[in-house]
């Protein structure tokens, strides 16, 4: 099943089950969604529940807050995380704080979903990974989806939660197929162990997970070790238990993230894990992240600015050899 189809299925099921679930965003209704995630919903549920908004991100989130206060469960779509910057005031100053400031009286059961990440030559204003901006604000949950199972279950759970959720997707993953069955089970508050190992843990999320899996066998063969790969899953809250248990076992960890290194979210993961596992470690931890530059238009330069499977392989092998593997 395609990743975007899994999201579509989750939305469809939730809207069918619960009359209060509504979808709003730019071109989500009549047009079918810029990435076809909301395809078919407009025809099925009508314009009352699938709302095409003008280009006004601040108001998309702002009105969704209002709808949530009024008893609906809005699922707002921001076309890409880059445009969410226009809504940052609503996200940071209202969505995350209304419950707290009201002493728990106000509930905001809403989801703001958006894709992020580098696609292909869309230039710097359309290619960012901005999870740090959201994950560091107390009061909102931040989920990520790296394949169909996490997308489907993650989005359904996000809609059912009474907390505001930022649901991060990746634009390039929309067109990829992943395994899926309705009987699958996934708790979006937990990290997932995608592959077990005993000498090294690699943490990652969103599209980087797949880039890691593409080279993990070669890394194992070159360094003669067994590698554990974990999809970090939620960025807020971090499933520290799973993350630290893994590192206590393997004693070494690497984080692979698409956002620029300086200020990137991997630093949070690194410090949280390091605090618990310092004495267990047999090597310094490694972060493989994007370059500290805006993303350029030229394709060759664009690929230099983010981690790729080849770079992940080389960097981990080099680091491994320099640190006792």
Partner 1 sequence: MAYEIVMPQLTDTMEVGKIVRWLKKEGDYVEVNEPIVEIESDKAIMEVPSLRAGYLTKILAEEGEEIPVGSVIAVISESKEEKLDEKLEEKQKPQEKEETQKELVLPQEEIKVEVKQLPPATASPAAKVLAKENGIDIKTLQEEGKLPIPAHEKDVKSYLINEKFQEDAINFLKDYQLNPEDVAKTFSEKEKITIEDVKNFVTINNIPLKKSITSIRKSLIKNLKTSLEIPVFHIFTELDFSNIPKESGFTITTWFIKILGDCIYQYEKLRTRTDEEFYYVYPTANISVAVDVSGELFAPVIKSIEKKSLTEISQELENIKQKAKEGRFSREDLEGATFSVSNLGMYNVTMFDAIIPPNCAGIVAVGKIVNNVAKLTFSFDHRILNGREGAEFINLLQSKFKDDDYIKSLMG
Partner 2 sequence: MQQSLAEKFYYLMKLGRVFELRAKEEYMKGNIGGFLHLAIGEEAVHVGATVAFEKGDIFTHYRDHVYAIAKGIEPKYLMAELFGKKTGVAKGKGGSMHFFEPSLNFYGGNAIVGAHIPHAVGMAYARKYRGENTGVLVAFGDGATNSGNFYESLNLASLWKLPIVFLCENNLYAIGTRIDRASAITDIYLKAKPYMMAKQIDGMDVFEVYKAVMEAKEYIQEESKPYFIEALTYRYEPHSMSDTGNYRSARELEIAKSKDPIERLKKSGLLSESYIKYIDDLVEKEIEEAVEFAKNSPEPEETELYTDIYCEVCKNVIP
Q: Which of 36, 83, 189, 268 binds partner 2 (CB under 8 A)?
A: 83
Backbone φ and ψ for 96, nearest 5 degrees, come out as -85, -15
Least distance CB 30 / partner 1 (angstroms): 15
User: Which member of 8, 38, 82, 204 binds partner 2 (CB under 8 A)?
Assistant: 82
Least distance (Å) between residue 322 CB and partner 1: 5
> Strand 227-231 and strand 192-195: pairing?
antiparallel
Per-residue binding letters, 17-56, with partner 2 (x by CB under 8 A):
---------xx--xx--x-----------------xxxxx
Asked if residue 280 binds partner 1 (CB under 8 A), the reply is yes
**Largest distance between two CA atoms of the chain:** 62
Shortest Å, Cβ 259 to partner 2: 16
Q: How far is residue 265's CA from residue 14's CA, in Å, rounded to a whole number?
A: 31
Query: Catalytic site residue 228?
Result: no
**Cis amide linkage into residue 5, ω under 30° from 0:** no
Q: Has 126 been annotated as catalytic?
A: yes
Which is catalytic among the residues 5, 26, 57, 169? 57
Strand boundaries in the chain, DSSP class E: 21-25, 50-52, 73-77, 111-116, 141-144, 165-170, 192-195, 200-204, 227-231, 253-260, 286-290
The DSSP 8-state label assigned to residue 91 in this structure reads I
Residue 160 lies near partner 2 (rule: CB under 8 A): no
Cβ neighbour number for residue 202 with a 10 Å cutoff: 29
Q: Of the listed 5, 77, 126, 169, which one is catalytic? A: 126
Tokens representing residue 32 in the block: 């079918």
Q: How far is CA 224 from CA 9, 39, 188, 247, 325, in A?
A: 42, 47, 33, 18, 8
Contact of residue 294 among partner 1, partner 2, none (CB under 5-8 Å per partner type): partner 2
Contact residues toward partner 2 (CB under 8 A) are 26-27, 30-31, 34, 52-59, 82-83, 85-86, 120-126, 291-294, 296-301, 304-305
- Looking at the annotation, which residues are catalytic? 57, 126
Contact residues toward partner 1 (CB under 8 A) are 36, 119-120, 122, 175, 214-215, 218, 251, 278-283, 309-310, 313-314, 317-318, 321-324
């Amino acid at each position: 099943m395609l990743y975007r189809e899994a999201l579509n299925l989750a939305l469809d099921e939730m809207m069918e089950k619960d009359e209060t679930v509504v979808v709003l965003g730019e071109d989500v209704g009549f047009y079918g969604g810029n990435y076809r995630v909301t395809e078919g919903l407009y025809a099925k549920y009508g314009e009352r529940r699938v709302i095409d908004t003008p280009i006004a991100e601040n108001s998309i989130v702002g009105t969704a807050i209002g709808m949530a206060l009024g008893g609906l469960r809005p699922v707002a779509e921001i076309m890409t995380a880059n445009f969410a910057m226009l809504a940052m005031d609503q996200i940071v100053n209202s969505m995350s704080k209304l419950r707290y400031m009201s002493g728990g009286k106000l509930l905001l059961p809403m989801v703001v979903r958006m894709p992020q990440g580098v696609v292909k030559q869309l230039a710097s204003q359309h290619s960012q990974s901005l999870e740090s901006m959201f994950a560091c604000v107390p009061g909102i949950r931040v989920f990520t989806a790296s394949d169909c199972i996490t997308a489907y279950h993650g989005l359904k759970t996000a809609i059912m939660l009474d907390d505001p959720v930022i649901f991060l997707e990746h634009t390039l993953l929309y067109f990829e197929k992943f395994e899926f069955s309705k009987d699958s089970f996934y708790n979006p508050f937990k990290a997932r162990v995608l592959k077990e190992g005993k000498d090294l843990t690699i943490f990652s999320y969103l599209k980087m997970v797949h880039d890691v899996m593409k080279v993990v066998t070669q890394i194992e063969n070159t360094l003669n070790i067994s590698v554990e790969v974990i999809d970090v899953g939620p960025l807020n809250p971090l499933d520290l238990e799973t993350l630290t248990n893994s590192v206590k076992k393997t004693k070494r960890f690497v984080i692979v993230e698409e956002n620029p290194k300086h200020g990137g979210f991997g630093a949070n993961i690194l410090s949280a894990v390091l605090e618990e596992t310092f004495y267990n470690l047999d090597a310094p931890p490694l972060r493989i992240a994007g370059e500290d530059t805006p993303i350029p238009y030229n394709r060759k330069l664009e690929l230099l600015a983010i981690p790729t499977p080849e770079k992940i392989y080389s960097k981990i092998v080099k680091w491994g050899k320099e640190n006792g593997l």
